[in-house]
Amino acid sequence: MSKSNNVYKDAFNRCLRLLDETQSLPSEPELGTLLGVSRTTVRSILSRMEETGLIAWNKRNKTVLRAPRPEDFFPEEETDSLAEIIERSFMRRLLAGGAEAGMQINELELAREIGVGTTSVREFLIRFSRFGLIEKRRNSHWVLKGFTRAFALELTEIREMFELRSAAAFAALPHDSAVWADLDRLEVEHRQLASDIATRFNEFSELDERFHRLIHRASHNRFIVDFYDVIAMIFHYHYQWNKAEERQRNEVAIQEHLAYIAALKSRDPAKVDTACRKHLKSARQTLLSSIPEGRQAQPAGTLSATFVRA
Amino acid sequence: MSKSNNVYKDAFNRCLRLLDETQSLPSEPELGTLLGVSRTTVRSILSRMEETGLIAWNKRNKTVLRAPRPEDFFPEEETDSLAEIIERSFMRRLLAGGAEAGMQINELELAREIGVGTTSVREFLIRFSRFGLIEKRRNSHWVLKGFTRAFALELTEIREMFELRSAAAFAALPHDSAVWADLDRLEVEHRQLASDIATRFNEFSELDERFHRLIHRASHNRFIVDFYDVIAMIFHYHYQWNKAEERQRNEVAIQEHLAYIAALKSRDPAKVDTACRKHLKSARQTLLSSIPEGRQAQPAGTLSATFVRA
DNA sequence: GTAATGTCTTTTATCGTGAAAAAACATTTT
DNA sequence: AAAATGTTTTTTCACGATAAAAGACATTAC
């Protein structure tokens, strides 16, 4: 089957949305930059749009003929990259229960169950290993370390160390730094979300990530910045997993963020430290409360073969 | 060509060295544990040893017939795993000069030059990416970030954060913890090396790694423990690269380690902090001094095609 | 009956291959 | 001549296949 053309399909869908806004599309290189793909892919997209009567295409002229209809779009599930598919599938198994620490992970079985090649699974596992949830035995299988309380505590320990340092660095940034404008914009977004919390509370997790990434970036340290990938990944699945009291949790977090932002703007190290610690403490609490120690295993019969008892 | 049998060859060589010490070899499972390989590999080894007249093998009886000769060993270079070969080759290019930040890394070219498949190179690059020296552009090539002064500073910043915390945790460990015996043994080894420094100064880097890993382990945090892989990797190549004043540097480091060990044994947090800081400071100095900012690029003609100007 | 050996099965490591996508080069248009 | 389009080449991504190595099961030895 070689390679799926999800890059093309995803870019095509995104390009369709552009059609609503304009009468004619920009040049090929410009479209490429806009969509984040090469000109080769742009031309494939344009070809199909011409074929399906969406545009008239003649050299530099790309006139929009009609608005896109739902059936013009490629199905959502065909636009995901293999890596995303594998990650989702793997995380579902990991969080579904029955995945206890010490179990073996079978590459071949995982590949079969997801319906992909072993190479993709191997590469995924290698990439995934930096999250500290799995470990490789030399010349042999992977071992699951488990999404345990210990894991959450180790993760938050580093997070707190890194964020306190980043926040201090942030507050020390010169007045003319561009980050202050970024922070102002994020503050506005926080206030907007706070006032619409009843309907939009599920938009918080995305805002949360952008806010913390901005702060971590102030460290100017690639290891700190990169570590946020681990946190983001865990929180992403954690948010999906634990919907209990989501609205209230997010409401509290927004207020903590606003206090945190105010402290940063004061540029007073002590205030920053206090606000940061307070928020990190409740973030840790939230994460820990979602990990019931001694999670019950599923009946053996329904247990997927991906994770195998050692 | 599929898979090389380097596991077998390496284990065979190690098993040859066992022959000197005993009259007869232990059971197959026991040998497997000893050599860190499966029984399948053990049996291959025994088969060959029988064929070449090294042992007489009949079921449980594995009698040594003669001492191994140099020609019995497999050549060293055939015992390396592909990952090691690729890493060495990659690092040589990286440190050889001409590899400037921003250059593109070409998987296919790298694979061709080393003489391996692209899959192995891809997997290596994914694993290697956690060291922070390269970065992947989505759907595209890898970008070299360069072994620069900035990299060294970011690395040491994290190292210092982690080691200070680990050292404090170490000193707080209960008296009956097994680590104190480990520390005592390391202290003895340090003293021995110090007295033989003239001839054995090059053995320090291995001792250095063991010492720091022991300390980091006291953090009981997988992210801290794993991060030492990054440090170890950089120092490993750094030691190979920068041989200037190696003996004197190591002599100083040993004394700092001994002071550090004494501080740990005192279990006085303030003393530990001071000794740790002092050592980390000179370690950073050493690393930084080996990175000449604005390293000169080689003439374009001799430049390997692995790294390509963007 | 425990622990070894002997045999068979499964999994991992690596390659070559081919399609998707990017990138490079050549040509045309404004 | 700068920037677009048209064309060709190269690289990345993903797969199935195969030998090495691990692991599981069956049998034998102590």
Q: Are strands A142-144 and A104-105 parallel, antiparallel or unpaired?
A: antiparallel
Residues B137, B24: one domain? no
In A, minimum Cα distance to B224 occurs at A158
Q: What is the average per-residue pLDDT within B103-118? A: 96
Nearest to A223 among B119, B126, B154 (CB): B154
Question: What's the pLDDT band for B187 if we cut at 50, 70, 90?
Answer: very high
Whether the predicted pLDDT of B261 surpasses 50: yes
With bands split at pLDDT 50, 70 and 90, how would you rate the model's confidence at B302? Answer: very low
Asked if B229 reaches chain A (Cβ–Cβ under 8 Å), the answer is: no
Strands (E), chain A: 55-58, 61-64, 104-105, 134-136, 142-144, 307-308
Residue B301 has pLDDT above 60, yes or no: no
Compute and round to an integer the Cα radius of gyration of chain A: 23
> Is the Cβ of A226 closer than 8 Å to some Cβ of chain B?
yes
Find where tokens 């619409």 sit.
A196
Residue A1 lies in a domain: no
**Interface contact flag, A37 B130, Cβ < 8 Å:** no
C18 C1' – A118 CA distance, angstroms? 17
Is residue B126 less than 8 Å (CB to CB) from chain A? yes
CA–CA separation, B103 vs B134, rounded Å? 10
Question: Where residue A57 sits, what CATH number does that domain have?
Answer: 1.10.10.10
Tell me: do B166 and B192 sit in the same domain. Answer: yes
- A154 plus A228 within the same structural domain: yes
* A200 and A266 assigned to the same domain: yes
- Asked if the structure places residue A198 within a domain, the reply is yes
Looking at A174-178, B77-81, B235-239, B290-294, which range is the least confident one? B290-294
pLDDT score of B293: 66
Task: With CB atoms and an 8 Å threshold, state whether B139 touches A222.
Answer: no
Dihedral of CA A210/A212/A215/A221: which sign?
negative
Each residue of A95-152: pLDDT tens digit? 887 788 899 999 999 999 999 999 999 999 999 999 999 999 999 999 999 889 999 9
Residue B299 binned pLDDT confidence (cut-offs 50, 70, 90)? very low
Q: What angle do CA B304, B306, B310 make, to 5 degrees?
A: 105
Position A295 pLDDT exceeds 70 = no
* Residue A263, domain member (yes or no): yes
Domain identity same for A195 and A98: no
Residues in chain A with CB shorter than 8 Å from the CB of B7 are 139
Q: What's the pLDDT at B300?
A: 37
Q: Are residues A127 and A180 in the same domain?
A: no
The verdict on A22 and A62 lying in the same domain is: yes
* Average pLDDT score over residue span B53-75: 96
Residues B153 and B281 placed together within one structural domain of the fold: yes
In chain B, positions 175-204 with C-beta closer than 7 Å to nucleic chain C are: none
CA B18 to C1' D30 (Å) is 26
The answer to whether the Cβ–Cβ distance between B139 and A165 falls below 8 Å is: no
Q: Is the CB of B61 under 7 A from strand C?
A: no
| Position B1 in a domain | no
Whether B224 has its CB under 8 Å from any CB of chain A: the answer is: yes
pLDDT digits (tens, 9 = 90+) for B192-233: 999 999 999 889 999 999 999 999 999 999 999 999 999 999
From the CA of A222, how many Å to the C1' of C28? Answer: 45
Provide the number of structural domains found in chain B: 3
Contact: A223, B223; criterion CB under 8 Å: no
Q: What CATH number has the domain bearing residue B284?
A: 1.20.120.530
Q: Does B39 touch chain A (CB under 8 A)?
A: no
Query: Of A208, A253, A228, A236, which Cα lies nearest the Cα of A166?
Result: A228
Q: How far is A251 from chain B (nearest CA, A)?
A: 31
Test B158 with A224 for CB contact under 8 angstroms: yes
Kindly report the average pLDDT of chain B as a whole number: 93
Do B70 and B87 have their domain in common? Answer: no
Q: Is residue B204 part of a domain?
A: yes
Could you tell me the residue range of the domain that residue A48 belongs to?
A: 6-77
Residue A298 has pLDDT above 60, yes or no: no
CA distance from start to end of chain B: 34
Asked if residue A36 belongs to a domain, the reply is yes
Distance of CA B80 to the CA centre of its chain: 13
Are A158 and A125 members of one domain?
no
Which of B77, B102, B133 is the last residue in one of the domains? Answer: B77
pLDDT digits (tens, 9 = 90+) for A206-258: 999 999 999 999 999 999 999 999 999 999 988 887 888 889 999 999 999 99
Structure confidence at residue A294 (pLDDT): 56
Residues above pLDDT 70, as percent of chain A: 95
Whether A272 maps to a domain, the answer reads yes
Question: What's the CA gap between A28 and A261, in Å, rounded?
Answer: 42
